[in-house]
Amino acid sequence: MIAVPVSDVLWHPSPNFTPRRDGLTPTLVVLHYTAMHSAEAALERLCDQAAEVSAHYLIGRDGRLWQLVEEDQRAWHAGAGEWCGVPDINSRSIGIELDNGGDHPFSAPLMDRLEQLLAGIMQRWSIPPDGVIGHSDMAPDRKSDPGARFDWARFARLGLARQGAEASGGEGGLMEPEMLTTERFRAYARDIGYSAPVDDQALLRAVRLRYRPQASGPLCAADFAPLGQAELWD
């Protein structure tokens, strides 16, 4: 069994898995929130054969870590969607469920344990920071997890997630109004992985959940900054 190399991981096997298709190995990590009242309730559902859902790992608010599916197997956590132009994210990813409802901060023990777990997974499978995504990134029209309360910036600083670029040069470096088109935004978002065929509002919502969770209103210059198009800010 390929397991996280910590002594207190709790092995709790789920029947809900299959071999990865076409010989694929993990190139992504997908983060989720459970949206349930407790980790135990989530664990029960993830191991219920009738539910037909699972994940490789579940982290409780108190930092407890359960492994449900071996890393080299295909857990059923992502569903329909795509990233970087490829579907069947389940065959290409490791899924981590976080004990959180999406409407409150993630606990310190949970976040500390996630740091440890992510670092190990990324090392074992040579997954780069760009390969750590949220469920909402690959399924913008269906999902919002891990949600606006998840601290992506913390993991980016540690090299455990993509670092969103920031606009440089202050107000004087902002894009010209004629450049603020949905077509340009879609193209730049696709360049960093957002390839799911969704409408403009769903895409904007997903990018903001990841990089500007407090933002609202129509598309603006600040929405382009995290996409890394540095030449736009010259």
Of 157, 181, 197, the one marking the end of a domain is: 157
Strands 73-75 and 17-19: antiparallel
- 97 catalytic? Reply is yes
Q: What is the pLDDT of residues 41-92, one digit of tens each?
A: 999 999 999 999 999 999 999 999 999 999 999 999 999 999 999 999 999 9
Residue 175 has a pLDDT of 64
Do residue 21 and residue 100 come from a single domain?
yes
On the question of pLDDT at 232 being above 60, the answer is no
Do residue 140 and residue 177 come from a single domain?
no
Q: Which of 70, 71, 82, 97 is catalytic?
A: 97
Whole-angstrom distance, CA of residue 19 vs CA of residue 41: 26
Q: What is the pLDDT of residues 105-151, one digit of tens each?
A: 999 999 999 999 999 999 999 999 999 999 999 999 999 999 999 99
**Whole domain around residue 114: which residue ranges?**
10-157
Q: Running DSSP on this structure, what letter comes out for residue 113?
A: H
pLDDT tier, 230 (very low <50, low <70, confident <90, very high otherwise)? very low
Do residue 193 and residue 143 come from a single domain?
no
Do residue 121 and residue 224 come from a single domain?
no
Of 106, 127, 157, the one marking the end of a domain is: 157
Number of domains in the chain: 2
At 98, the amino acid letter reads L
Whole-angstrom distance, CA of residue 137 vs CA of residue 153: 15
Q: Which residues of 103-116 are buried (b: 16+ CB within 10 A; e: fewer)?
A: eeebbeebbebbee
